[in-house]
A = this chain, B = another copy of it.
Amino acid sequence: MKPKKATIHDIAKKLSITASTVSRALNNNPRISEATKKAVFKVAKDLNYQPNNIAAALRSGKSQLIGIIVPRINRSFFSSVIRGVEEVANTLGYGVIVSQSYEKIENEISVVNSLLNARVDGIMASIVDNKTENYEHYENVIKKGIPLVLFDRTTKEIETSQVVIDDYLGGYMVTEHLIKQGCKKIIHYTSDRTINIYKERYRGYIEALKDYNIPFNQSFVFKNNMLLDGGRDSTEKLLESGQKFDAIFSASDYAAAGAMQVMKEQNIKIPDDIALAGFSNEPFTSLTDPPLTTVSQFPIEMGQAAAELFFEILDSTKKKVIPQKTVLHPELIVRASSLKKGK
């Protein structure tokens, strides 16, 4: 039933050479003659030889595996980042293990551990919200000398290479766009948790208002979970409050979708009565009615950039690597949800 797999020793025996020669041939070591290489590859094929990466990993200490931690993979943004990472990792002969933290610190700690036990050669992560500011698990990774790169959801508390988009700029661009559409009373939805990216978008919002001499109004800012129901919630509260407003800038596409639902239910016209914009360019944003103005974060490029930083650390023979930070430029995607007539 379970035929025992061929090893390099089997190949060696068949050719009356030694295992080390076979190993070298298989790894294309330049010091092996073409003739032996060819012979080795032929026999390997005949025996249906499959290298045992585990043995190689144990011996060499390198598993050729990278662990990626994201809050959840069913977000288009994160799965696209992963795709970007895979693109560059695969060409370099590295595989990728994807783990999800489901936004919970307990899970994050446990997956970091699993990844470490699986002896990944390094970790790339988008961290979860963490009010305790306890980053021990990640600091441990660094202490062990294992390359760590953070992307998107990062913190300066962890001293390692990072790649982010300029969320501040993104927030600024959306707000500026709404202002240029003639909006003066712009509501902002932001996260109720302490996640950097949302703070930055918020900062961009405030700064744009300032630059265009529009007074900032604290009661215009609503915090929610940045999901569909959070957006619905905030919008209901907003409408109940009776405040006048002419635009909503939600720092999340999902919350913007919630806002859209509630406003439609109340017969508020988008964009004529209220202009609406989200953030992230989730695929569904082009499918809503009206299509949603949003910001592209170039996730594939972010994955590639993260992988590049990662391999820089990995390749550096020198003990200390200065943490790098790559900042990507966001792009405003204007769609019908924020286009006032005659503009």
In this complex, the member of A2, A82, A284 whose beta carbon has the largest number of chain B beta carbons within 10 angstroms is: A284
Segment touching B, from A23-31, A113-121, A194-202, A323-331: A113-121
| Complex contact A51–B117 (CB within 8 A) | yes
Q: Which of A294-343 contact B (CB under 8 A)?
A: 319
Q: Does A39 contact B (CB under 8 A)?
A: no
Q: How far is the CA of A65 from the CA of B99 in the complex (A)?
A: 13
Q: Does A289 contact B (CB under 8 A)?
A: yes
Q: Which of chain B's residues have a CB closer than 8 A to the CB of A72?
A: 79
Partner of A50 from B63, B82, B116 at Cβ < 8 Å: B116
Q: Does A288 contact B (CB under 8 A)?
A: yes
Q: Does A80 contact B (CB under 8 A)?
A: yes
| Complex contact A80–B74 (CB within 8 A) | yes
Interface size on A (CB < 8 Å)?
A: 47
| Complex contact A118–B65 (CB within 8 A) | yes
Q: Does A55 contact B (CB under 8 A)?
A: yes
Shortest distance in angstroms between A229's beta carbon and chain B's nearest beta carbon? Answer: 12
Partner of A73 from B50, B82, B228, B257 at Cβ < 8 Å: B82
Q: Does A76 contact B (CB under 8 A)?
A: yes
Partner of A53 from B5, B51, B119, B289 at Cβ < 8 Å: B119
Q: Which of chain B's residues have a CB closer than 8 A to the CB of A65?
A: 118
| Complex contact A54–B287 (CB within 8 A) | no
| Complex contact B288–A53 (CB within 8 A) | no
| Complex contact B53–A118 (CB within 8 A) | yes
| Complex contact A54–B51 (CB within 8 A) | no
Q: Does A32 contact B (CB under 8 A)?
A: no
| Complex contact B53–A55 (CB within 8 A) | no
| Complex contact B52–A119 (CB within 8 A) | yes
Q: Which of chain B's residues have a CB closer than 8 A to the CB of A79?
A: 72-74, 79
| Complex contact B287–A144 (CB within 8 A) | no
Q: Which of chain B's residues have a CB closer than 8 A to the CB of A100?
A: 83, 86
| Complex contact B58–A5 (CB within 8 A) | no
Shortest distance in angstroms between A53's beta carbon and chain B's nearest beta carbon? Answer: 4
| Complex contact B284–A264 (CB within 8 A) | no
Given known contacts A73-B82, A98-B98, A2 and B145 CB-to-CB distance under 8 angstroms: yes
Q: Which of chain B's residues have a CB closer than 8 A to the CB of A260?
A: 287
A-B contacts, 5 listed (Cβ < 8 Å) = A2-B145, A50-B113, A53-B118, A79-B79, A95-B118
A54-B57, A74-B76, A95-B118 provided; 18 other pairs, C-beta below 8 A?
A1-B319, A2-B144, A51-B117, A53-B117, A53-B118, A54-B58, A72-B79, A73-B82, A74-B79, A83-B100, A86-B100, A97-B97, A228-B287, A260-B287, A264-B289, A287-B287, A288-B288, A289-B289
